[in-house]
Amino acid sequence: MIRATLTIARRDIMATILSRGFLVWLAMPVIGLAFAVFASLVGGPRDAAPPPQAVAVVDPAGDFAPWVQAAAAREQTRNAYDRLRAAHGDTAAFARPAALLSDTQLDALAKRADVAAMAPRRAPAFVQVIIHGDPEEQARRLLTGKSRFGAALVVKPDGLMLLTRGKVQDAERIRTLAGLAWMRRTLAAEGLSDRMEAMRAAQPDITLAVLGDPAPQAQRRGAPILATGAATVLFALISLLAGALLSNMVEEKSNKIIEVLVAAVPVPAIYAGKLIAMLAVSLIGVTVWGLLFGGGLMLAAAQLPAGLIPMPPRGWPELLVLGVAYFTCAYLIYGAIYLGIGSLCSTIREVQTLSMPVTILQMVILISTLGALANPGGLWFQIVSWFPLSAPYMMLGRAAADTGLGIHLASIAWQLAFAALVIALAARLFRYGVLRSGSPPSLRQLAGLKPKAA
């Protein structure tokens, strides 16, 4: 029995890998990604936001442009620091909120590489222009024709005027920066800048103590994203790979190959061999896709500041190992169901009819899993975690959040036991399907699982 099972498995693995369609099957995600990139390159520039245009500063005194340019640079640094602080949490390097940073601290932060990398690229440049005649009329002339200026800021003795050519997206931002620059210039003229900086620097640091939640802020924010992503990726892989058993089974029945196999080896060996073979082929495909896309993601992540990408609480290696384990459990469960259904079908139409309930069930399970991951705790969370059809998705999502290793070992053992039960029942269904002939079975025949004589 074992020798026959391994023979069938080796036959199916070699027949799949050596086929011309296997390379196309492996390349499908790469082709889809390449098509998406091509479509974005072709259609992207049409909908892309226009580059920021310079702002002309029309100032008779000639000293306002440096003030507003400094305000814009500090605003960029403050936003970059705020993003890094959200990624790292309230650590020692990011203890003070961005709104409480002084100008001296912002100027020092602007020199850091991680802050500079997070600074937004779209920022207006403020350019001092030489005054010729009336400042307001000159501003209007600067915004006519093919000018590099998108807006003009007129500095008057008693206030500011912003002129824009049409609707400018950054108008509110320019008004805010100009107001900050006016206030700082006024404070400097009154000799109050040093006093304001000293007051900002003297502000006490407020220590934040979160009771009942020892997880760092970055993990709390990143855990739901990782959990949802892990469960969704596992669902997509199972739906794509386990469904291939249906079409393969129908093809062999239509080519009479299954009859030759039945005459040579026991039917349970055929069932077990096919399930093992497709699991091995699926693991090969997942490995290839993981190396391709994982390598690309690692290269992209290396260009980002440290701490921006959420980190699993137990580390990536353990999450990947648990992912392979839960993928194997889910594939054995759903693959056994699909293989049993495929043995009953003789045409693609019958495949679509009989696989519809399983597909609907999978969607219900995915929605239930995502809902439980979004609201941890409670009875429903535990039910979805241990219900065998949803446990692989749910427990992988919990592994991406934070769960002890012991509960995963217990869950994997429970899923393997349930998979053995499903395989035993589906093997009887498979035997019925390959030995029967004629029209599709009725529900009464399926309940009895007795092959219909030819």
Tens digit of pLDDT at every position of the chain (454 positions): 888 888 888 888 888 888 777 787 778 777 777 777 676 666 544 444 455 578 889 988 888 988 998 888 888 888 888 877 776 665 667 777 877 788 888 888 888 877 777 776 666 788 888 888 888 888 888 888 777 888 888 998 888 999 887 766 678 888 888 988 998 888 888 888 888 877 777 777 676 666 655 444 444 444 577 888 889 889 988 888 877 766 666 666 666 676 677 777 777 788 888 888 888 988 888 888 888 887 777 776 666 655 556 677 778 888 889 999 999 999 999 888 888 777 777 676 776 777 778 788 888 999 999 888 888 878 899 999 999 999 999 999 888 887 788 899 999 999 999 998 988 888 777 777 666 655 555 556 555 555 554 4
Token pair 């920021």 in the structure block, residue: 52
Nearest to 52 by CA among 214, 164, 158, 195: 164
Identity of the residue numbered 17: I
Q: If 0-12 CB within 10 Å is exposed, 13-18 middle and 19+ buried, where does residue 198 land?
A: exposed
Cβ atoms of 391 and 385 within 8 Å: the answer is yes
Burial 380-413 (b: 16+ CB within 10 A, else e): eeeebbeebbbbbbbbbbbbbbebeeeebeebbe
What are the structure tokens assigned to 331, written together? 């594939």
Angle at 180 between CA 174 and CA 185, to 5 degrees: 120
For CA atoms 295, 297, 303, 304, give the dihedral sign.
negative
Note the pLDDT of residue 416. 93
Cα–Cα distance, 44 to 37 (Å, whole number): 10
Q: Are 126 and 65 in contact (CB under 8 A)?
A: yes
**Tokens of residue 162, six digits:** 């912003």
Of 223, 232, 220, the residue nearest 369 (C-alpha): 232
Q: Which residues pair with 126 in a beta bridge?
A: 55
Sequence-separated (6 or more) residues with CB below 8 Å from residue 355: 243, 246, 338, 341
Beta-sheet strands, E only, within 346-430: none
Q: Please give the model's pTM, rounded to 2 decimal places.
A: 0.64
What is the Cα–Cα distance from 283 to 390, expressed in whole angstroms? 20
Residue 453 pLDDT: 47
- Please report, as a single letter, which amino acid is at residue 127: V
Give the integer Cα–Cα distance in Å for 58 and 136.
8
Q: Long-range contacts made by residues 215-219, C-beta under 8 angstroms, separation at least 24?
A: 215/313, 215/402, 216/89, 217/89, 217/90, 218/87, 218/88, 218/89, 218/307, 218/310, 218/311, 219/310, 219/311, 219/313, 219/402
Position 199, amino acid: M
- pLDDT, position 88: 67
Under 8 Å between Cβ of 54 and 168: no
Question: Which pLDDT belongs to residue 454?
Answer: 44
* Token digits of residue 207: 């220590």
